[in-house]
């Protein structure tokens, strides 16, 4: 009887663990996202990472740049449509389709900005109807219009199949926490069952 009780609690605990893990991974997959590398244009030495995730309102775009040349300078940046980074680097840039919040350079040359683009999804931004790219521009100078691009990333699906990396939902718990909760529950349940068994069959 004692062994049966132990076995039952282990099975119960395992079932609980499986259900929680399945649930958490299912919720992570609901949020589609992509991570893109911005590479330097025109020997700028400026690079970075753009993270795009689906949110309730639309798409959240976060730029994390490094190698920015001058602290305190504001860099405008946009999603351009109808061309590629190669076009921009060849001096034939495509029009701005979605303005993003500017990146301000910090003392250490990093800079970041987050923009929520409303009423759009990551899949739509990556759709093949139009080529798109994210472009970060040099310092804006008075009377010179839009400055040249200094870092660029094409919004192109990484694989031929057109799938992107799946990112965990924003604000999601790290895996350690997700595992710790069911483990704590399991040991609690198992302990309770063992105590009961001991009480019933001394």
Chain positions contacting Cu ion, by CB under 5 A: 78, 96, 135
Which pair of tokens denotes residue 117? 């683009």
Q: Based on CB atoms, which residue is closest to Cu ion, 66 or 78?
A: 78
| Nearest-approach distance from CB 87 to Cu ion, in angstroms | 13
Q: Based on CB atoms, which residue is closest to Cu ion, 122 or 135?
A: 135
Using N-to-C axis directions, what is the helix angle for 175-200 and 2-30, rounded to 10°? 160
Count CA atoms within 13 Å of residue 36 on its CB side.
28
| Nearest-approach distance from CB 172 to Cu ion, in angstroms | 31
- Residue 139: count other Cβ atoms within 10 Å of its Cβ: 15
Q: Is 61 exposed, middle or buried (0-12, 13-18, 19+ CB in 10 A)?
A: buried
| Nearest-approach distance from CB 166 to Cu ion, in angstroms | 28
| Position with the least CB separation from Cu ion | 78
Q: Based on CB atoms, which residue is closest to Cu ion, 103 or 167?
A: 103
| Nearest-approach distance from CB 160 to Cu ion, in angstroms | 28
| Nearest-approach distance from CB 140 to Cu ion, in angstroms | 11
CA distance 145 to 47: 23
Q: Based on CB atoms, which residue is closest to Cu ion, 105 or 178?
A: 105
Q: What share of the chain is helix, strand, coil (3-state, %, to 5)?
A: 30, 30, 40
Q: Based on CB atoms, which residue is closest to Cu ion, 103 or 178?
A: 103
């Amino acid at each position: 009887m004692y062994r049966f009780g132990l076995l039952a609690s282990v099975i119960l605990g395992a079932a609980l663990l499986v259900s929680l893990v399945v649930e958490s991974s299912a919720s992570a997959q609901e949020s589609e996202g992509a991570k893109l590398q911005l590479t330097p244009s025109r020997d700028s030495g400026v690079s970075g990472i753009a993270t795009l995730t689906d949110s309730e309102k639309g798409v959240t775009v976060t730029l994390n740049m490094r190698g920015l040349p001058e602290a305190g300078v504001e860099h405008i940046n946009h999603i351009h449509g109808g061309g590629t980074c190669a076009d921009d680097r060849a001096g034939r840039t495509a029009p701005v389709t979605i303005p993003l919040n500017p990146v301000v350079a910090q003392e250490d040359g990093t800079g970041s900005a987050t923009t929520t683009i409303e009423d759009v999804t990551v899949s739509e931004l990556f759709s093949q109807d139009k080529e798109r790219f994210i472009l970060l521009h040099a310092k804006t100078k008075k009377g010179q219009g839009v400055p040249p691009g200094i870092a660029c990333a094409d919004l192109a699906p990484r694989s031929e199949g057109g799938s992107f990396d799946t990112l965990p939902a924003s604000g999601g718990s790290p895996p350690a926490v997700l595992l710790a909760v069911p483990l704590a529950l399991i040991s609690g349940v198992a302990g309770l069952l063992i105590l009961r068994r001991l009480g019933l069959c001394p």
